[in-house]
Structure 1
């Protein structure tokens, strides 16, 4: 248990208030960008209507902060079941008697007003749930995770573009996607000290990782285009048995949102169709596509432990950093995060974000598929509820690491773990390659 001075507590409250306001501004922008028809319709059976996501954000905030932390009377107890993600699959949610856009906006405002009163009056100590303002941080992350989901829904909608953002920074100079050898040895994986780390990131533990080689940058559109044009989607030899079965069932021929135009490929990004930017990381590929490309390239996907060691371990100090570049929070010079740009940045754009080994763009741009299944760390304890992580453990889900241009810094760090089905392509997912070292590289 941590005891805070009055000044430290007020600083923490100010930080929470800023994060809550920032996440709500993003939710509001994503929902205000479209009309009521677009808010209530389902743009894909893979996704909820945008209005469901927004009301669900408010409902989770009410459950945890108003009722649990604050001990206040419910605002809308009658809607709890309707906005319980485990009770209603996404495909079924449009048929529910959802709150209208007007009702939703009114509801989330009322909940937030009560939350700010709870924040001002709640001692941030004495219960595990409120230590270091954990419950508030959990809700900030929950809202930002749904903001990324809503951004993916925007990518799936049809019609003229409604979201706009400046281009990411350009690389400051020539870029070479070289390989980097990470020596064998132990490192500290996960965390026991990050205040808002979620249960599946905990606890910190030692993991021995054999030597491996990893690419400095993620796989680019240019690299992936070679796989497409060489017939990689038609050659079963590169695909796992499960991957080939899904490739045939789904008739995969290219990354999602690539558009064939005669002999060239374009990409549809939030309603704007344009030529591929060849040195951007490829995005919207599923695990099976990443796995097949890696086989075609004579390499493999990194394990989750390899990915985290390449991202966090500092061989000079022997410790694991919070982020690849160090312990300071992400800035615009470090990574492409938070929907600041509506696309991955070209490789080489963030030299200040490199890890101690020199591996680049491991945070932001695209979630990176790894070869690992989702599992608990040794000593895992579900907190504050089993349904956040524990019910998903097992071989059905593959791990993604690093965050995307749609992930927010509050919900993305060196230890943050994301997972999804290996068939998912609507998410902002890409990958980088790894391989076992040759004997001559270990001398």
Structure 2
């Protein structure tokens, strides 16, 4: 396809038909936002002090993250605007190359609402790259330009390999795919994955001002276009008739993947109940139809039939359809423990467990025996030199402290907590975040007598934050000193063993969803998920620790009364940390009064240690 043909093809893309007139892409569309905020970008290195009032997140557009990521995988459900986004970008890049007055980089720029308040920030595309727009998998990649590949789910299991090839060849590419199918891909280094967001109220208001339709527009772009066009889902029933007639005849058609797929999915619910049980079972066995079946909300009979299969993925589907169902909680917990769910289903399982009341012991403690442990790594100067430390036995929490447990502390003490979603029932079993070092220590003091009364700890034991060597010992176990990067699973890096940047969630999830990343002593989520506070001091300089290795507990680094300017150590990385930080050895830090949605903590149980000599509030001289 020539650039001129590409421009004409994209400009003629029909967004919807209203009152007999086709509204095309050339008449404008809404720039799509993704699940990556300005704060996320600023906080990759943990640098924000607590705000008195939480600020609403402001999000980047898909085009902006595409400029920062040579290879970008954008996910969305059917009708979320993936194809419109691809063609909008190709239209303006082709126009720029052709010198077109209507479509170019200047006309691509627009003021975009970025948050619930409608704050406008200019969106621009600064880099003129010739586009190659493709709507199907390719056998041979073009040698230059920007590859825009729609319907990436059609690559199937070959998707990750193509991503790796694009990175290896230094190619620029944007792949757009189904959230369920492509969200399960392991993402190679050098690739970023983001999800398209529903439309904000300000975006819908702007669309209504341009194109009319009902005032109460849905946030889903596809359904919004239908509403603006004056078309109801009921009016579109004939579009699904052929497919469901085939189903009734015992023929399972391929799942629709084109632009009208979301219509079929939302019409499916009213028809599937009339199908033979064997046909429903066949559909349930195909993950591509799960999104359709999820629209059978409230069908407890179908949910119970899915549960009876004993399959992990169908247990999650049952929860999508009709929670609560008898035995559903235990079935979901078992599915998570079996570790046979693909990532999108795993995340949904965790959220369902949170809403239903997670039956797992999320305050479970694991024992770490005393003895010598390797500490540090030669791979980063702040973690060098590798050395050995001797530790007394202790117990440590298997999971980070969850939002539900921390919320109990807040309710009992009245302590301020600025978390935007800490009280969300769907996040009750996710790590508590937006917590300062002082918050974490106050929680430890509060929970100590409660756990003594419950018999969880002995009368002479206390709850506290881990020291830095205790945290590392629990994470790496008895792994020896090594020049290689050290991960909790005692094996090379694997993208889907933890909630890191490579998993592409850009948020925390329920604890314990990555059993393959468990540490040798049985601790979960020690790589990625959330940065975890330690008791240990770092120093005042963010880049270089004043308290260097080898670790020495007597040099003031465990002085709990150090000055407010002395940063405290954070360990483990978080959901936005890459493979070089989501490790057993990388050292992060933050001011003790600082907090962020990517930092939390886990606790250690021990007997009170004798007072250590220290150098006061200042670190030793270099």
Task: Please report the TM-score for the alignment, with normalisation by the length of structure 1.
Answer: 0.51
1:367 counterpart residue number: 531
Q: 1:45 to 1:175 in 2, by over 3 A?
A: closer
1:199 counterpart residue number: 381
2:396 counterpart residue number: 214
1:112 counterpart residue number: none
* 1:378 equivalenced with 2:549 (yes/no): yes
Whose RCO is larger (CA < 8 A, sep 6+)? 1
Deviation string for 1:181-200 (max 9, x for gaps)?
Answer: 222222111112xxxx3221
Contact 2:386 2:481 (8 Å CA) reproduced: no
* 1:399 equivalenced with 2:562 (yes/no): no
* 1:179 equivalenced with 2:365 (yes/no): yes
2:594 counterpart residue number: 424
Deviation string for 1:233-255 (max 9, x for gaps)?
Answer: 1xxxxxxxxxxxxxxxxxxx224
Q: Is the partner of 1:180 in helix, strand or coil?
A: strand
Indicate the structure (1 or 2) with the bigger Cα radius of gyration. 2
Contact 2:394 2:606 (8 Å CA) reproduced: yes
Q: Is the partner of 1:229 in helix, strand or coil?
A: helix
Question: 1:372, 1:46 → 2: CA distance?
Answer: 32
Contact 1:339 1:408 (8 Å CA) reproduced: no
Q: 1:159 to 1:328 in 2, by over 3 A?
A: farther
Contact 1:373 1:395 (8 Å CA) reproduced: no
C-alpha displacement at 1:330, in angstroms? 2.6
From 455, 476, 491, the counterpart of 1:312: 476
Pairing of 1:102-141 with structure 2 (within 5 A): 102-103=125-126
Moved over 6 A (4+): 42-51, 53-58, 157-162
Question: 1:356, 1:231 → 2: CA distance?
Answer: 36
Question: 1:289, 1:210 → 2: CA distance?
Answer: 26
From 215, 225, 230, the counterpart of 2:412: 230
Q: Is the partner of 2:495 in helix, strand or coil?
A: coil
Pairing of 1:43-82 with structure 2 (within 5 A): none
The number of residue pairs the alignment matches comes to 285
Question: 2:477, 2:565 → 1: CA distance?
Answer: 27
C-alpha displacement at 1:410, in angstroms? 4.0
2:319 counterpart residue number: none
1:188 counterpart residue number: 374
Q: 1:369 to 1:168 in 2, by over 3 A?
A: farther
Deviation string for 1:16-75 (max 9, x for gaps)?
Answer: xxxxxxxxxxxxxxxx9549xx98xx9999999979x989989xxxxxxxxxxxxxxxxx
1:352 counterpart residue number: 516
From 417, 422, 432, the counterpart of 1:282: 432
C-alpha displacement at 1:232, in angstroms? 4.5
Q: Is the partner of 1:297 in helix, strand or coil?
A: helix
2:445 counterpart residue number: 295
Q: Is the partner of 2:509 in helix, strand or coil?
A: coil
2:417 counterpart residue number: 254
Unaligned runs of 5+ in 1: 1-31, 59-98, 107-118, 121-139, 234-252, 260-264, 267-274, 381-393
Question: 1:180, 1:359 → 2: CA distance?
Answer: 7
C-alpha displacement at 1:302, in angstroms? 0.6
Question: 2:537, 2:201 → 1: CA distance?
Answer: 34
Q: 1:295 to 1:159 in 2, by over 3 A?
A: farther
